[in-house]
Structure 1
Amino acid sequence: MKKYISFWNLDYKRNILLGLLSQNRIDYTSRKKRDIKLGVSFDVILSKLKCDKYKLEEITSELYEEKEILYTDVDHKGLYATNKGVVSSKNNKYKKKYEDLWIIMLRNISQILIPIISLIITFYIIAKDEKSTDIKLQELKEDLLNQIEKVKYHPNTEYNMKTDSLNIE
């Protein structure tokens, strides 16, 4: 399970990284600040993402493949967002991908848990119903025994008749 959560966490971190690099790219192209340089250094990226260089390679691999980020070593060694990366960031491409994976996971879990919970509830109801049926049967048995006892002591029963008044013999 940790493997899958780590995989989804990559898309979450890609979203954060792309947002950071896109903001840098927008600030650089709009010249909001005079001293801003194109790209963000690896040190800043690692501290923002709270990861090591190996994990950063995993995070950036898809971004490189999609040509959403590129490497820079002009002013410092780091990464910068391409125009395609800025568009992906503004469209929340990796955030949506991250959320979609969580929705799929929750749907899969619910498809497993709902039948199991239903089965447990059904077993509980059957067991409870069986107990109540046993109790009702016991009550009926006691009633039947009481009726038999009453019949034994009724004056017109075979047990209590000494002579048959209708017998002609």
Structure 2
Amino acid sequence: WNSLISPQTRPPPHHHFFSHFTTSAHHFHHFPSRPLLYYFPNFYPRFSQFSPPPPSFTHTMNKPETLELFDQPDEEKVIENKVHKMPNTSVFLINKEDHTFGNVLYHQLLREKHIEFVGYKMPHPLEHRIEVKIQTTDQTTPVMVLKQAISELNTKLDKLKKRLLQQTQGSEWEQG
């Protein structure tokens, strides 16, 4: 292969592509200074660096409408579905929430002493709804544990809000 390239066009040995990636501490995350098209000119055969991608690459067609993200007066926020195959187990559908609330609620439910199992999932990234599955001991019900966890989260958020207001009194945040 090297015999096919004349010495005038062959790059110096220290300028090949993989020389930019070393495992030493100084150069561990160093990236090449030239764009990838320099090293791989046929990497994007349909699009050159001068032509923009087609509109289908830039538009999100399945994006939900903004009004779908707000609570509606006729819509239930929390729906309980009991799991009859397992004792003291329910799946709660919580509308208009995502991983932000789901993760906080999950970790709060893990702190409850009567929890045997808790898990949550977001069925689809474009649906703003989470499903929380709760299994409790015989001393309580999943509804009671969920209400207790949400009230404790409200208490913690109120304390956090008070502390933030105390620390920011007279600062730039209140003036702006």
Which structure has the higher relative contact order (CA within 8 Å, separation 6+)?
1
TM-score by length of 1: 0.29
The answer to which structure has the higher strand fraction is 2
The answer to which structure has the higher helix fraction is 1
